[in-house]
Amino acid sequence: MKIEKRLIAFSILAVAIGIATILPLEYFMTGESQTVAALTDIKPWFNVDVSYAYCNPYVSGGNNTFSWTGASIEIVANFTLTTDAMQNADAQIEFYKFAVSSDQGHIIDLSYYIIEDKANVVTGICGDGTINLANGLTYNGPASNGGQCINWQAWSPDAVLGFVSSYMLQYNGDEASEIVNLIRNAQTLYVDVSKVSTVTVSGDLTATTPADNQIIQHIELAKTDNGFVYGTYVSGTLPIPIQTPPVPTFPSSILYVPTFGPANMTQP
């Protein structure tokens, strides 16, 4: 009888331990699934609006060692926080495409990313698309034509400017590339802005959500004597883009730093 009582007691204890073990596991799994579910309900943290764009079909320069000619495209985009920003996540990375085309067809796709870091979880960014996170993960995104990270704890603007730029150059008298010829032969240029993807970071979880490639904004650059222009700006009120034209590996006695805007125009 004593043996049976002990067996019954041990059985009850084992069941009690089992319940105590299972309940926290279920609670943890439920909490994680809720977090993942929150990450699947991704909403934009930014609205984007291009306020100014300029294409110079005849960029040129040089020094005693080499010379270059080509074309440049510079785009100024306003990024404004949405009402859904900073909700249900520690940080969000949004990738955008700026597709440049003409009346002759597609010319080039430019890309830009913007990061809103609410909880100081982004530890490093690189122009090749690499983004380092505090949880130990590294996100290898696409190479871009510009990008920025906003640390909300250090700086909390409601809107920022983004500069998207690209230079298509040839050196020392090489023939113009197909892209440059397309630009120079165009009568009108267009830029279509769309979102490529969104990366959301919450704790140790990271979710990537592809976009539907819907056109957010379509703009038309009018041809003028100084190139192709969309919008206006007051000279001296905008800084030059961060990116400068790629220069071959030569002694860099002179680095070409373009003046932003249609005032910098040299045409043969």
Summarised one tens digit per residue, pLDDT across range 175-226 is: 888 999 999 999 999 999 999 999 999 988 888 889 988 999 999 999 999 8
- Residue 239 forms part of a structural domain: no
| 136 and 4, same domain (yes or no) | no
Whole-model pTM above 0.85? no
| 144 and 160, same domain (yes or no) | yes
Model confidence pLDDT, tens digit, residues 59-68: 988 888 888 8
| 69 and 15, same domain (yes or no) | no
Return d(Cα 43, Cα 245) in angstroms, integer. 35
| 129 and 9, same domain (yes or no) | no
Return d(Cα 225, Cα 228) in angstroms, integer. 8
- Residue 191 forms part of a structural domain: yes
Helices assigned H by DSSP within the chain: 2-40, 178-185
pLDDT at 22 over 80: no
- Residue 248 forms part of a structural domain: no
Return d(Cα 254, Cα 143) in angstroms, integer. 27
- Residue 250 forms part of a structural domain: no
- Residue 4 forms part of a structural domain: yes
Provide the token pair at 188: 């009108």
Task: Write out the DSSP string of 179-246.
Answer: HHHHHHH-SEEEEEEEEEEEEEEETTEEEEEE----EEEEEEEEEETTEEEES---TTSSPPPS----
Distance of alpha carbon 238 from the chain centroid:
20
pLDDT at 154 over 80: yes
| 168 and 82, same domain (yes or no) | yes
Return d(Cα 40, Cα 35) in angstroms, integer. 9
Quote the number of domains for the chain: 2
- Residue 146 forms part of a structural domain: yes
| 79 and 195, same domain (yes or no) | yes
For the ranges 93-102, 129-138, 249-258, the lowest mean pLDDT is seen at 249-258
- Residue 32 forms part of a structural domain: yes
Q: Provide CB contacts within 8 A for 216, sequence distance 6+.
A: 48, 96, 193, 194, 195
Task: Give the residue from 58, 92, 127, 116 showing the smallest Cα distance to 202.
Answer: 92
pLDDT (mean) for 81-98: 92
| 135 and 54, same domain (yes or no) | yes
Average pLDDT value over all residues in the chain: 77
- Residue 252 forms part of a structural domain: no
| 51 and 13, same domain (yes or no) | no
| 221 and 153, same domain (yes or no) | yes
Return d(Cα 34, Cα 40) in angstroms, integer. 10
Per the model's pLDDT, the better-predicted residue between 134 and 175 turns out to be: 134
Domain limits for position 15: 1-40
H-helix or E-strand containing 138? strand 138-140
- At 3 the pLDDT is 47
